[in-house]
Structure 1
C-alpha cells in the first residue's frame, strides 16, 4: 500500500502546494482521499482522471473536497468515458460540490455511497473503518487496512479526542492534522489539533510513523516537527506534494 501526498496545506492552497489530498494505491487500485483545493494538478502528475477508481472524503469542507468538481468534469466531458466514479462520504457532505454545475450535467460521472461515522466497509482491496471525530462539521476519521494487514490511519480534521489514538492504534502510517504547532487558539481548540498533541496521540497509539498535515499556511515545518517530537519517539515528517510513502507495518 503506497500513499502519495498531493497536498497538505490547511484552509487554502499556497503558491507551492494544494490543500489536503492523498492518493492511496494497492494492487493497482487507486483511491483518492480528500481532493481539496488545487490537488487535481498534483494528481495528474500520477494518474489520469479516468484512472481514479474511487474517492473517499472525510468531511465536507472545501479544502478537503473542492477539486472533486474538476475531476468529475474531466471524467464526464473528456474523451475517455469512464464508468461512474464511486464516491464515499458522510451524509450530505458532498452536496455543495456536487451542485456546482447545472442539474444533471455530471450526474452520469459519479455514484454516491453515503456512510455514517462508525461504519466499516470495503473499497476495492481496502477495508475502511471510520470513527466520528470532533470538527466544525461532521468528520470521519478513517482507518484503511490492505489485504496484507498494513494500516493507514487518517484523522481528516479533528479536535482533541480519545478516539484519535484508537483510530491510529498500531498503524503503519498515521496521517494527522496538525493545524498549529504548539497550541490551538481557544476559539478553535475543540475542533483542530496541534502538532504536539498529534505526537502524543501517535505515541499512545503505537503508530510506526507520523506524518503531519493540514498545517496553517506559512507555518514553518520545523516548528511543527519540533512540537510533535516532544511526544513521539518514531519517525516524523510533514506532508508535502510529491511525497510517496510506503504505509508499511506497525512498530514492534
Structure 2
C-alpha cells in the first residue's frame, strides 16, 4: 500500500499549495481521499482522472471535497469517459459540491453513505469508519489492505475513539491544525499536533503524518509538539510526500 500527499493545508490552500488530498494505491487500485481545494491539478501530475477507482470523503467542508467537481468534470468531458465513479461520504456531506453542474455530472458518480460501525469493501480495501466530532459530521477512516493499515482522522476534536481508529496502524494521518492549543471556540472540533502525538503513542502507531496545518504555519512547532509523546517515524504532510507500507 502506498500513500501520496497531494496537499495538506487546512482551511484554504496557501500560495503554491493545496488542501487535504491523499492518493492511496494497493494492488493497482487507486483511491482518492478528500479532494480538497487545488488537489486535482496535483493528482493529474501523477495519474489520469479516469484511473481513479474510488473517492472517499471524510466531511463536507470544501477544503476536503471542493475538487470533486473538477475531478468529475475531467472524467465526464475528457476523451476516456470512464464508468461512474464510486464516491463514499457521510450522508448529505456532498450535497453542495454535487449541485455544481448537477445535470451534466449526474451520471458520472455513484454515491455511497459512510455509516459508523459499518464495514465496507472498496476494491482491495476494508473500510471501517468512526463518527468523530467536528463542526459538521466527520468520518474517521481506517483502510486495511495488503496486510497494512492506514488510519485517517479527517478533522476532529478530542475523542476517546481516536485510539480505536488508530490502533496498531502502520500509518496514522492525523489532523493537527495547531501545534499545542486550539482556540477555545474550536477546541471541541479541531486537534493539535500534541494531541496527535499522544494518540499515536497510545495506539501503537508505526508512523505518524501530521496534516491540515494552518496555512503559513512552519512544520517545526508541530513536529516538536508531537514528539513530546511520540517517538516513532514522524513527518508533516506536504505535496509529494510518499509513504510506502
| Cα deviations by residue, 1:184-238 (Å, 9 ceiling, x for unpaired) | 0000000000000100000000000100000011111001000000010101100
Match of 1:25 in 2: 25
SS at match of 2:104: coil
Ranges of 4+ aligned residues in structure 1 off by more than 6 Å: none
Conserved in 2, the CA contact under 8 Å of 1:211 and 1:237? yes
Match of 2:105 in 1: 106
| Cα deviations by residue, 1:98-121 (Å, 9 ceiling, x for unpaired) | 0012x4210111111112122210
Conserved in 2, the CA contact under 8 Å of 1:90 and 1:117? no
Match of 1:165 in 2: 163
Provide the rounded CA distance (Å) in 2 between the counterparts of 1:211 and 1:16. Answer: 20
Provide the rounded CA distance (Å) in 1 between the counterparts of 2:4 and 2:218. Answer: 22
| Cα deviations by residue, 1:49-68 (Å, 9 ceiling, x for unpaired) | 10101100001100000000
User: Following TM superposition, by how much is the alpha carbon of 1:16 offset from its aligned partner in structure 2, in angstroms?
Assistant: 2.3
Conserved in 2, the CA contact under 8 Å of 1:118 and 1:131? yes
Provide the rounded CA distance (Å) in 1 between the counterparts of 2:16 and 2:162. Answer: 29
SS at match of 1:19: coil
SS at match of 1:74: helix
Match of 1:92 in 2: 92
Match of 2:125 in 1: 126
SS at match of 1:23: strand
SS at match of 2:179: coil
| Cα deviations by residue, 1:120-146 (Å, 9 ceiling, x for unpaired) | 101000000000000000000000000
If the length of structure 1 is used for normalisation, what is the TM-score?
0.96
SS at match of 2:210: strand
Q: Give the one of 232, 235, 239 matched to 2:233.
A: 235
Tell me, yes or no, if structure 1 residue 197 matches structure 2 residue 192: no
User: Following TM superposition, by how much is the alpha carbon of 1:78 offset from its aligned partner in structure 2, in angstroms?
Assistant: 1.1
Provide the rounded CA distance (Å) in 2 between the counterparts of 1:32 and 1:85. Answer: 11
Number of aligned residue pairs: 245
Cα RMSD over matched residues? 0.7
Alignment of 1:34-73 (within 5 A): 34-73=34-73
Query: Any unmatched runs of 5+ in structure 2?
Result: none
Match of 1:179 in 2: 177
Query: Any unmatched runs of 5+ in structure 1?
Result: none
Provide the rounded CA distance (Å) in 1 between the counterparts of 2:112 and 2:202. Answer: 33
